Amino acid sequence: MDHSQLLGLSNVFAAHAQSADTVVVCPDGETFHFGDVHAHNPLMLYIKNMQMVHMFDRHPLRGLENSYLKGFWDCNNIPQLLAMSHQQYASHTTDLLKKFHHSPCHPTVLRKYAQDSYCLERLSLEFFAAWYDPSLSTSIGAFSQAKRDPLYIAQQRRVQQILKILEYHHAVTVLDLGASWGAFGEKACLQHDVTLVTPSRAHAEFCQNRLRSVPFPINYQIKTQRPLASDYPPFDAIVGLLPILIRQRDWLDYFSYCAAHLKQSGVAVLQVVFDERTTHKQLSRLLQQCELRLIEQEHLNRDAAKTYRYWVNNFSTNTRQIEQLGFSQPYMRLWQYYLSKMAYFFESGGLQIRQITLEKIES
């Protein structure tokens, strides 16, 4: 076999031979090298079924994904392989926000994986604990520029950054809209009266046990549904991490909800994902409609790419542990590819993520 039988794949690797070292291992054991054959950490592509090559040749990007989900290949660095393929076969990827928010645990996706849906319902804590950091944070970490932080350290740094914003604005009561497993709420309740909104009863029970372990009196409430404005006095601050915002109507509803639950001059600290179609002008118009103004924003793409790379590496390292929970190989591969894709989209800028601080203004 020669390079030509790798069809379009050989074009990808040859085009990047100066900047990336690649080793391709075929089903019969034959090996092809692109770039420096003595490289210490090359991209390793293991082709298990040559159908992968033909699927890639017919439609490079869709073929790459579909053949991976079928188990036709494996790779030690899927985000890098995606970057090389997208650069070689440049195409405009549409509906990136939908692709981001429709993760493998989204109900529309889980309909195709009945066994995995059942396992996720019973063992969601064990599943996510296998690849999140020890704090079970769902946030985007804050990585230092100078050194390679462990994910746990980056997640704790992000929590402290948000808490400093709340302290600066003298917030006492805080509504945590994306509490999930309580990573932020556990720290926030040491300084604030916190209402945590979790996505399920299992999350709520875990948060309850987590906060009970705090060794001194704290004030908190845990909800499995967003509180109504009529049921609570306005909060000094709202924290929201990665809400599902796809259509313009979603953004308007979410910002309106935040405004309705904030006191005058109260602040909302939100991590939100945009696509390239979302302009600053559109965002400003939406905020103005909701009587909010942008007072600070931080671009998190570098941190998001690193966070997702940690997650995909943790997931790959612990696949056997996850499989023993009862999850199927196709569903696990779906997660690995999803996490890799998101790492690539944040690295390339196809998706933009920002942490924005909003203030409620007088009507």
pLDDT in tens, 90-119: 655 668 888 888 899 999 999 999 999 999
Q: How far apart are the first and last CA of the chain?
A: 72
- Return the pLDDT at 94: 65
* Residue of 259, 230, 240 whose CA lies nearest to 362: 259
Instruction: For residue 92, count other CB atoms closer than 10 A to its CB.
Output: 7
Q: Report pLDDT digits (tens) over 125-165.
A: 999 999 999 999 999 999 998 778 999 999 999 999 999 99
Q: Using CB atoms within 10 Å of the CB of residue 28, give its burial: 0 to 12 exposed, 13 to 18 middle, 19+ buried.
A: exposed
At which residue do the structure tokens 């020890």 appear?
134
Note the pLDDT of residue 55: 93
Which uninterrupted H or E stretch holds 14?
Answer: helix 8-15
CB-neighbour burial class of residue 316 (10 A; exposed 0-12, middle 13-18, buried 19+):
middle
pLDDT band for 227, please (50, 70, 90 cuts): confident
pLDDT tens-digit readout, 1-50: 556 678 788 888 888 777 778 999 999 999 988 887 676 789 999 999 99
Neighbours of 300 (CB within 10 A): 24
Model pLDDT, residue 15: 83
Q: Which domains does the chain have, with CATH numbers?
A: 1-91 (no CATH), 94-363 (3.40.50.150)
Report the alpha-carbon distance of residue 20 to residue 285 in Å, rounded.
43
Lowest-pLDDT range of 159-163, 249-253, 341-345:
249-253
Instruction: Name every residue whose Cβ is closer than 8 Å to that of residue 226 and which is 6 or more positions away in sequence.
Output: 177, 197, 257
pTM reported for the whole predicted model? 0.93
- 315: which residues sit within 8 A by CB, 6+ positions away? 130, 131, 322, 332, 335, 336, 339
To which residue do tokens 């600070």 refer? 296
Nearest Cα to 166, choosing from 361, 359, 362? 359
> Average pLDDT of the chain?
91
Q: Report CA 121 to chain centroid distance, whole Å.
A: 20
pLDDT of residue 249: 85
